Amino acid sequence: MSNFNFEQTKSALAAYTSIGNIHSADGYGSGHINGTFKVVSDKGIYILQRINDYVFKDPRGVMNNICAVGEHLRKKAAASGGDVERCTLNVVLTDSGESLVETENGFWRMYEFVRDSVSYDLANSIEDFKSSARAFGNFQRLLADFPAETLCEPIKDFHNTPVRYENFLAALKANKSGRADNAAAEIAFVKERADFARVLQEAHERGELPLRVTHNDTKLNNILFDKNTGEALCVIDLDTIGPGFSVTDFGDAIRFGANTAAEDEKDVSKVSLDLELFKAYAEGFIEGCDGRLEEDEIKLLPEGAMMMTFECGMRFLTDYLDGDVYFHTDYPEHNLVRCRTQFALLADMERKKAQMDAICARK
Ligand code: ADP
Ligand code: GN1
Ligand code: MG
């Protein structure tokens, strides 16, 4: 083995002798949750991941979801003459035929590296962002006939914002990190929006927002693009697939991709909602869903964007109060910085709500 940077991958890789001799295993990507490595061997290129089992309590359930959804998507691609190899994640089985392996340092899985693919943390162009929207919309459309009852719910109440609000209050009370005083303004910002937190759940209870099979983590860097043609190839990071609202899949993508600044920009004056990107994403998403979004859902797309921005900021703040136990962080105040960008973005969305509504009303 050469270039073997990560000792910890060794025992996991021992379970995959079918991929031949390993040439390198290097850290890859910018995800906040799993440990991701790009592995090059005699036989090809792979992604090896250590599943974060603090976040995912049932790694086997997660892998069963991913395998079943992958099979469903590959069948659809085959039926429509699509690219079966690059339409979704393809799991590489261990030598004993398992979709994951447990070692002394956790649970690991391997995927084929999607050939000639790349992911982006910032949209290169409006067109690319729109094509990522089509891909996520399309993903939801293709899963419309997936038997939802066979999926395990990987993280309970993942996008249940009122529950997230209760978790935030509990973290504030416990103040495990002792840092609550550093975040007084952000804590007040959350508390002022306690009523807003319930808006989508209440719409659901009124029958306006159906539960669908959704991705639930629709960041731009969870889409792979062809690095030569720029075409959106597939949706990845399938860990969180489960029941959800169409508008939260839309909203999380806006939160991340239609922000004029990075998620962890320290200068919040650079943060704002780019309405052109919002409009392009709304068009692409509705197109990708291909007539399956109901009128009420389209009307609630702006609330979806605001809710995901609020919820994600609140989650970063909760983790800051808890002492950075959930998201990967690069420096001590990272979660607070991320929280501030989310709240600056939400404040801008609140100012631009009428414009977002007008864009969605025309669809
Ligand atoms: P996390 O849950 O930590 O976000 P992801 O599953 O999103 O982890 O993977 C992190 C990054 O690794 C992605 O943003 C993407 O760039 C890359 N990646 C993941 N799976 C593949 C794959 N099968 N082929 C190519 N790149 C991949
Ligand atoms: C995490 O795994 P990654 O980096 O794609 C998180 C999302 C957050 C996001 C914030 C399982 O996504 O919910 O919105 O960070 N994923 C999980 O960037 O919690
Ligand atoms: Mg990811």
Q: How far apart are alpha carbons 10 and 7 in whole angstroms? A: 6
Q: Does residue 242's CB lie within 6 angstroms of at least one atom of ligand 2?
A: no
Tokens 């069963």 belong to residue: 64
Q: Does residue 90's CB lie within 6 angstroms of at least one atom of ligand 2?
A: no
Q: Which residues pair with 40 in a beta bridge?
A: 24, 45
Contacts with 161 (C-beta within 8 Å, 6 or more apart), sequence order:
197, 198, 200, 201, 307, 310, 311, 314
Ligand 1, residues at Cβ distance < 6 Å: 28-29, 31-34, 36, 47, 89, 111, 113-114, 117, 119, 221-222, 224, 236-237, 239
Per-residue pLDDT of the chain (363 residues; tens, 9 = 90+): 333 456 789 999 999 999 999 999 999 998 999 999 999 999 999 999 999 999 999 999 999 999 999 999 999 999 999 999 999 999 999 999 999 999 998 999 999 999 999 999 988 899 999 999 999 999 999 999 999 889 999 999 999 999 999 999 999 999 999 999 999 999 999 999 999 999 999 999 999 999 999 999 999 999 999 999 999 999 999 999 998 999 999 999 999 999 999 999 999 999 999 999 999 999 999 999 999 999 999 999 999 999 999 999 999 999 999 999 999 999 999 999 999 999 999 999 999 999 999 999 976
Q: Does residue 130's CB lie within 6 angstroms of at least one atom of ligand 2?
A: no
Q: Which of 277, 297, 274 is nearest to 286 (CA)?
A: 297
* Ligand 3 centroid to residue 252 C-alpha, Å: 12
Torsion 92-95-97-101 (CA) sign: negative
CA angle 306, 310, 315 (to 5 degrees): 145
* Ligand 3 centroid to residue 236 C-alpha, Å: 7
* Ligand 1 centroid to residue 31 C-alpha, Å: 7
**Other Cβ atoms within 10 Å of 9 Cβ, number:** 23
Q: How far apart are alpha carbons 20 and 38 in whole angstroms? A: 15
Q: Which of 8, 111, 34 is nearest to 328 (CA)?
A: 34
| The ligand 1 atom nearest the CA atom of 35 | 3
Q: How far is CA 159 from CA 102, 148, 214, 217, 325, in A?
A: 28, 17, 11, 10, 19
Tokens 């995927």 belong to residue: 111
Torsion 250-216-327-86 (CA) sign: negative
User: In what helix (H) or strand (E) does residue 37 lie, and over which residues does it extend?
Assistant: strand 35-41
Report CA dihedral (15, 19, 22, 24) to the nearest 10 degrees.
-100
Residues 266 and 324: beta-carbon distance below 8 Å: no
pTM of the model: 0.95
Residues 12 and 21: beta-carbon distance below 8 Å: no
